[in-house]
Structures are given as structure tokens and as C-alpha cells.
Amino acid sequence: MKRKILFVDDEVNVLDGLRRMLHPLRREWDMEFASNAGEALAAVEKQFRDAVVSDMRMPGMDGARLLAEVKKRSPETVRIILSGQADKKAFLRSALSAHRFLSKPCGYDALRLAIDRGCSLRDLVSSPAIRKLVMSMETVPSLPQWYGELIAALESPDASLEDVAEIVGKDIGMAAKILQLSNSAYFGYREPVADIAHATQILGLDAIQALALSLHVFSEFKKRRIDGVSVDDIWEHSLTVGEFARRIARAEKAGPEAVNQAFVAGLLHDVGILAFAVNLPEEYEKVLARAKAEKTGHWRAEAEAFGASHAEMGAYLMGLWGLPDDVVEAIAYHHRPSLCPERSLSPLAFVHVADVLEHEARGCAGRWSAPEPDADYLRELGVADRLPAWLDACLKSDPA
Ligand SMILES: [Fe+2]
Ligand SMILES: [Fe+2]
């Protein structure tokens, strides 16, 4: 079926340029062009659009507000901002309402890829209700402790990027948002960004201050505990899995990029649990209780109840936000890596093993069900006998 894409820009020349450039895609995309927000909203109300790509600066309602309205009326639509490079303030204002950010002029390949990736990620999740929930998520809340530290660091007269990067690197929600923005085409980096220190540098201290202090892009977790899982526990687990994945990657002499991706993918691998806990606390409590009673993995119980486990849910959200593909893949398959078509010592392998070893090292008493090692996958990679050495590397007090 053809995808329905709506482009919005108040400049006729820009719309004409897009029409010409995208003409070869007319068999794959059903394209419509609107010259203002009112026209765009009328089109969205009339018929479902897979994606809306909007200019930022428009008279009347601007792109950020338009996309916020699109989200209300059609939560399953992929929302993309296409803005002029010079306008950093406007770009930051769209940090909550847009899934992705592109900058003008945007080439055929970049535009096609952003739209196709955003739309095809939906296939990961079959339930329309869960899809809607992921598409509507603007932020992943932060642990109150790190949120408080970030605000204090940013308000301090001697705020430094190093301090900010250190705090962001400990928090799932902040890391996800900072990586979403720094990976956007707005900044024009060709390589995916998975190093949090680099990501904070790309944005700059002034932008992070604006995001946190005036645009309120970060938020705190309100409910610290739902029956069956404690938010603090997820944080501790995620941070340790990130650190373990980084140490295993180093032990395997992976390059710096893979090492960074392993850490970030480890930090974010269970972000889907937070998405369930924030959006569906009561239903999720029941699913966790059922998993416990039936002595089965909570990811299986989630898939049965919601049509997607936290792994697919988290990968869908992070993919939609434009995080690096290797990170999204590691999140998607961290419980069952053999489902991934690729076989290589990648961030996926490091995160899968780190998740298993973290549970083993800490013991699982009182926690959600322990992940199971995917023995076939590890054998196929030829690393099944490396587990003791990797556990040693993880538990060393001072990693190389
Ligand atoms: Fe998990
Ligand atoms: Fe985990």
C-alpha cells in the first residue's frame, strides 16, 4: 500500500522543489502539499497520513505547534520538522513535538530515509494501541536524583559541559533525548553519534540549558514503584548493563564507536519497561504478576498481553527518535539475539551478554525475571567459551 505523506511549507518555491525532487517516488508515496497549518490540519483530519513533514517558521501556527496538534489528532503519524539551519532556537522548540529533525536544503536520500525508517519501524509493534502510545511519547522521564543534579548543574554560575555529560550519561531519559537531538540531520553529522560527551558538545551548554530550564524537555519520574518493578532498580540495572557491555566490547578489542554504542545500548536496552510503567502502570503490574506466577520471562508475558515486549517497544521509540541503527537493533533483540538477521560481534552481542551477566553477578532475588543466554547465537558467533573471561572483565574494579 502506498504511504501517505503530507508536506507543509508556507513558501511555494520550497513545496515546488519538494514536488519535483520526490516525483520519482510517486508510485510508493501518495504525496500532498499544504501551504499553511490550517490546510495541513484539515488534511490530517480528513484522512490518515503516515507522516507529516513540516517547515518550522510559518506565519500563524508554526511547525512545532502544528506537529503538537497533529499528535493530538493523529498520534500514529510520524512527525518530522524540516527547518532552516540557522534557526537553533526554533529547532529546540520542536524537541517535544517532532520525532525527527531535518535541515534545509534536504537531499532526496536523507528525506526518503527519514520518512521510510520512521514509517517502517511501526511493523515492529502489531498492536495499534501500543503503537499509538509509543508515537505519543515525547520524553522518557528521568530519575529524580539525576534530574535534580542536572538542573542544579545547569543553574550553577560555573556550569560545565563535562559535568552535564556525566549526569546525562547516568540517566536513561536524558541520554535518549540528548542522543535524539544530536543525531538529527539538523547538525549535519554523517556518522551516528553514540558518545554522550560528544552529543552534549554538539548541542552546546546553552541549548541544553534552554531544553532543561525553559522548554522543560526533561521531566522526573513521579511513581517510583509499581508492583513487581522498582524504577530505581531499573536504573541501577541499566547503568550496570551499559558498563558491562562497554567492558566486554573493550575486552574484544572493538573500535571506539562500537564501545560507545555498546554502552548507550546497554543504558537504554530496557527503556521499553519504563514506557510500559509510565503509560500503562496497572496493566503492566498485572503482566508482571502473571509472569511471576507462571515462572516465565516478563518479556514473553508482555508480548502476549500487549503484542510487543519491552524490547520491541523500546526499539520502536528509539528508532523513531533517530538513534543509531546498531543501538536500536541491540535494544530490539537483546532478549533473543538469534532473531536478528546479522551475525557479528556487535553492540547487540555485548548487550545481550551484559544483561545476562548482570543478573548473574547481582543475583535476581526480588527482581523481575532473569534473562536467558541465547546459547545457539553465542555458539554461532564462536564466543560461548568467552563468558567466564567476559564476567572477569565486567567485575574487575578498574577496567582497562
Ligand atoms: Fe530486557
Ligand atoms: Fe535488562
Model confidence pLDDT, tens digit, residues 120-161: 877 778 888 888 899 899 999 999 999 999 999 999 999 899
pLDDT the model gives residue 365: 53
Higher pLDDT, 31 or 190: 31
Do 239 and 381 fall within a single domain? yes
**Residues 27-56, mean pLDDT to the nearest whole number:** 96
pLDDT at 224 over 80: no
Residue 205 Cα to ligand 1 midpoint, Å, equals 33
Residue 217 Cα to ligand 1 midpoint, Å, equals 26
Do 263 and 333 fall within a single domain? yes
- Single pTM value for the model: 0.89
Q: Is 371 within a domain?
A: yes
Do 381 and 289 fall within a single domain? yes
Which CATH number belongs to the domain containing residue 21 in this structure?
3.40.50.2300
Q: Is 44 within a domain?
A: yes
pLDDT the model gives residue 67: 95
pLDDT at 86 over 70: no
Average pLDDT of the residues of the chain: 91
Q: Is 341 within a domain?
A: yes
Residue 373 Cα to ligand 2 midpoint, Å, equals 12
Share of the chain above pLDDT 70, in %: 97
Q: Which residues contact 385 (CB under 8 A, 6 or more apart)?
A: none
Do 346 and 296 fall within a single domain? yes
Give the pLDDT band (50/70/90) at residue 302.
Answer: very high
Do 179 and 249 fall within a single domain? no
Residue 371 Cα to ligand 2 midpoint, Å, equals 7
Do 54 and 179 fall within a single domain? no
214, 248, 263 - which closes a domain? 214
Nearest bound ligand to CA 309?
Answer: 1
Model confidence pLDDT, tens digit, residues 340-370: 888 899 999 999 999 999 998 887 555 667 8
Q: Is 364 within a domain?
A: yes
Residue 58 Cα to ligand 2 midpoint, Å, equals 44
Q: How is residue 142 annotated by DSSP?
A: B
Q: Is 356 within a domain?
A: yes
Count CB-CB contacts under 10 A for residue 129. 10
214, 242, 263 - which closes a domain? 214
pLDDT the model gives residue 152: 96
Give the pLDDT band (50/70/90) at residue 187.
Answer: confident
Q: Which residues contact 4 (CB under 8 A, 6 or more apart)?
A: 29, 30, 32, 47, 48, 49, 50
Q: Structural domain tally of the chain?
A: 3
**Residues 295-303, mean pLDDT to the nearest whole number:** 92
Q: Which domain holds residue 117?
A: 3-124
Q: Is 46 within a domain?
A: yes
Share of the chain above pLDDT 90, in %: 70
Residue 314 Cα to ligand 1 midpoint, Å, equals 9
pLDDT at 217 over 70: yes
Do 70 and 182 fall within a single domain? no
Q: Among positive and negative, which fits the CA dihedral 170, 172, 118, 68?
A: negative
The runs of H, that is alpha helices, within 56-107 are 63-73, 88-93
Q: Which single residue is written with the C-alpha cell 538513534? A: 323
Q: Is 272 within a domain?
A: yes
Residue 115 Cα to ligand 2 midpoint, Å, equals 30
Nearest bound ligand to CA 299?
Answer: 1
To which H or E segment does residue 52 belong? Answer: strand 51-55
Do 238 and 378 fall within a single domain? yes
pLDDT the model gives residue 380: 95
Which CATH number belongs to the domain containing residue 388 in this structure?
1.10.3210.10
Do 238 and 96 fall within a single domain? no
pLDDT the model gives residue 332: 94
Residue 195 Cα to ligand 1 midpoint, Å, equals 22
Do 155 and 238 fall within a single domain? no
Residues in the chain: 400
**Residues 316-325, mean pLDDT to the nearest whole number:** 92
pLDDT at 323 over 50: yes
Q: Is 326 within a domain?
A: yes
Q: Which residue type is seen at 171?
A: D
Do 13 and 54 fall within a single domain? yes
Model confidence pLDDT, tens digit, residues 328-341: 999 999 999 998 88
124, 152, 181 - which closes a domain? 124
pLDDT the model gives residue 223: 72
Residue 105 Cα to ligand 1 midpoint, Å, equals 39
Residue 78 Cα to ligand 2 midpoint, Å, equals 28
Do 296 and 196 fall within a single domain? no
pLDDT the model gives residue 128: 86
pLDDT at 400 over 50: no
Distance CA 299, CA 335 (A): 8
